[in-house]
Amino acid sequence: MVMKDLVIPLAAGLAIFLFGMQVMRIGFEHLFLEKAKKILGTLTRTPVAGLVSGTVATAILQSSSAVLLLVIGLTHARIMTFRQTIGVILGANIGTVVTTELLAISVHQLGVYFFILGAVLFLCPRTALRASGMVTGGFGLLFLGMETMQGIAPFLESLSWLENASQWGQKGILSGIGFGLLLTAVIQSSTATTVIAMNLTYEQLISLPLAIAIVLGSNIGTCVTALLGSMATNLAGRQVAVAHVLLNVLGVFLFIPLIPLLSVIVEQLTSNPMLQVAHAQTIFNVLCSLLALPFTKAFERMVLLVTRGSAQA
């Protein structure tokens, strides 16, 4: 019963979704990786320029973790300084919302057509067309994975613990953050965690505030990838990972009291539960990045103090 109604559809849907993310990422890298490197390496002289560059690069590569790992590599190679990376980190948090906003649009029925079109393009001899096919096909797999994961809704609806979820830790907020953090750390994709929260909200299995808490937790969980990627780097590379952790953790704790207000705001923007979760993520990420932007120098000093490092020109 549990295997058939929960484990198999959840595992299969998550596998399809994560595979689609990986296929999309590879396609985007073939098309735009060198451009993204150029953007990050040269157009990050000021915090504002870094924010814009990080946003564009993440929107292109469809992964804030990929951009952070790229930035850590560029910093380790001394192509970028730690000071330049702070704006990029803020921009990466903004750029990552593009995928979830697109997935929240009700075009699930088009997933198979995106996949078929991608497969046709992948058979073309030209490299650019093959890469475009990977992007298109991967995008279709995201929707197919979402549909598969929605198959667990009837089983979850029968569980009494979901009805009591709002009682866990400040009306479910703390438990939601913890769930989002752990799930993202395990599956290495904040987008997939957000999609699960979107699906559960759409099926009315969890409340909107609890879904927003899961999304906030995923922002902390996504730091694990950068931390792991920085272990074998120099001090500047580790500083990038620490900065990413501190920015995301501080942003989440700043927004915890504001979750009820954020819920009201997104409910006024749209009646679509999936779009409500996506909009909440967008508002959170954009506001956190813009609020932190004027304090990049002070934040740089904080990270240098924590890591016992020195400033780089």
Range 168-178 average pLDDT: 72
pLDDT per residue as tens digits for the range 219-235: 999 888 788 878 878 88
Residue 312 lies in a domain: no
Note whether residue 54 is domain-resident: yes
Residue 252 has pLDDT above 90, yes or no: yes
Predicted TM-score (pTM) of the model is 0.83
Has residue 313 been placed in a domain? Answer: no
Asked whether residue 123 is domain-assigned, the answer is yes
State pLDDT tens for residues 261-311: 999 999 999 999 999 999 999 999 999 999 999 998 888 888 888 887 655
Instruction: For residue 151, name the pLDDT band (cuts at 50, 70, 90).
Output: confident
By C-alpha distance, which of 90, 96, 79, 92 is closest to 48?
Answer: 90
Q: How many domains does the chain have?
A: 1
Measured between alpha carbons, how far is residue 194 from residues 104, 229, 276 in Å?
10, 23, 12
In this prediction, residues 246-265 reach a mean pLDDT of 93
* Residue 28 domain-assigned (yes or no): yes
Q: Which residue range is the domain that position 263 belongs to?
A: 2-151+165-307
72 three-state secondary structure? helix
Phi, psi angle pair for 221, to nearest 5°: -60, -30
147 belongs to a structural domain: yes
- Domain-located, residue 209: yes
- DSSP one-letter string for 194-233: HHHHHHHHHTTSS-HHHHHHHHHHHHHHTHHHHHHHHTTS
Confidence of residue 189 (pLDDT cuts 50, 70, 90): confident
Helix (H) or strand (E) run with residue 124 in it? none
Could you report the per-residue pLDDT of 91-143, keeping only the tens digit for each? 999 998 988 888 887 656 678 888 999 999 999 989 899 999 998 999 889 88
Report pLDDT for 156.
Answer: 65
